[in-house]
């Protein structure tokens, strides 16, 4: 018996067809023993610390849910952050990463991987810089708008680690774009800046945010359509890739020089426009109230005169 088994094994070893058949049979038996699963529902393992990979079903659900939620409520920063991550792949974030790789400064940023926080920038030092410098303009904008660079959420749903840093860098540089353009954090200013960013970066989240213009007041929509959308498209398309600015090295530079180098012209001061409009509305209401009071006083005087005349006739 033992001799027969050895002889059979030797024949299998010499016959390639029998070898392939035996391997296929073993693989099929192993596959039958594996638990059944849907690949579209299975979450892959993380690729780097903090990475939260998504299954195709999870990604699709977040695209719809976070997209609609951020569209109807532009102040939901968490939904905007998630939508930016789940829509950045498979093309857009790689395009932005390649733009950085094509630039010497962009390559240095990818190599150094700096982070923008209140500590890394040393905000008290920026407040001591001369007026008109990039750093002073940036910190003045932070103080005026009451925001901090420490509120940017970490990127978790981009699978490629280097691309995750690219999106993180874009996210942390957002306030520098605000300071560079002077646009405030009110809804109207955010929509205008997102239009600029979309023209410059092509990230889908920035393009979707432009549709939030439909939620603006009629006067704001008209102003966005006539002033800020043309400005955003013109400047975003002609400007250099703003993702390649090493902001940490530009803090002591004149902000106007940097704007000219990048090809970015600041739009009309939105804060000033809104302030003038509020003042005009206040004066209009005061004038209407004064006119109403004068009319009421005149009517009262007329009534008193009529009463006096009636009393005299009696």
Binding residues: 174-175, 178, 190
Query: Which DSSP symbol is given to 146?
Result: T
The answer to whether residues 238 and 197 touch, using CB atoms and an 8 Å cutoff, is: no
Q: How many CB atoms lie within 10 A of CB 140?
A: 15
CA distance linking residue 308 with residue 306, whole number of Å: 5
Distances (CA, A) of 10 to 4, 36, 246, 310: 10, 36, 68, 136
Query: Which DSSP symbol is given to 176?
Result: H
CA distance linking residue 158 with residue 170, whole number of Å: 13
Q: How many CB atoms lie within 10 A of CB 34?
A: 7
Q: How many CB atoms lie within 10 A of CB 248?
A: 14
Q: Write down the residue that tokens 């660079």 correspond to.
A: 149
* Residue count of the chain: 314
The answer to whether residues 177 and 197 touch, using CB atoms and an 8 Å cutoff, is: yes
Kind and range of the H or E run holding 251: none
Annotated binding site for Zn(2+): which residue ranges?
174-175, 178, 190
Q: How many CB atoms lie within 10 A of CB 177?
A: 20
């Amino acid at each position: 018996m033992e001799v027969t088994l050895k002889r059979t094994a030797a024949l299998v070893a010499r016959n390639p067809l029998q070898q392939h058949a035996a391997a296929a049979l073993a693989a099929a038996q192993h596959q039958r023993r594996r638990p059944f699963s849907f690949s579209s529902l299975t979450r892959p393992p993380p690729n780097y610390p903090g990475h939260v990979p998504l299954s195709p079903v999870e990604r699709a659900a977040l695209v719809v849910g976070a997209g609609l939620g951020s569209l109807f409520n532009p102040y939901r920063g968490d939904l905007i952050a998630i939508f930016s991550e789940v829509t950045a792949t498979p093309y857009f974030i790689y395009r932005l990463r390649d733009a950085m790789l094509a630039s010497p400064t962009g390559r240095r940023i990818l190599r150094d991987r700096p982070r923008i926080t209140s500590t890394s920038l040393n905000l008290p030092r920026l407040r001591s810089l001369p007026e008109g410098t990039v750093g002073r303009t940036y910190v003045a904008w932070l103080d005026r708008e009451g925001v901090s660079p420490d509120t940017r959420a970490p990127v978790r749903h981009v699978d490629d680690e280097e691309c995750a840093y690219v999106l993180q860098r874009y996210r942390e540089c957002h306030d520098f774009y605000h300071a560079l353009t002077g646009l405030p954090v009110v809804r109207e200013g955010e929509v205008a800046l997102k239009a600029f960013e979309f023209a410059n970066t092509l990230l889908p989240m920035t393009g979707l945010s432009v549709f939030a213009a439909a939620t603006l007041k009629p006067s704001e929509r008209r102003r966005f359509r006539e002033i800020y959308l043309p400005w955003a498209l013109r400047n975003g398309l002609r400007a250099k890739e703003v993702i390649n600015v090493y902001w940490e090295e530009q803090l002591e530079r004149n902000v106007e020089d940097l704007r000219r180098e990048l090809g970015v012209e600041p739009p009309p001061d939105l804060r000033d426009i809104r302030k003038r409009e509020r003042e005009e509305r206040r004066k209009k209401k005061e004038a209407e109230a004064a006119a109403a009071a004068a009319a009421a006083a005149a009517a009262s005087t007329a009534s008193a005169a009529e009463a006096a005349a009636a009393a005299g006739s009696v």
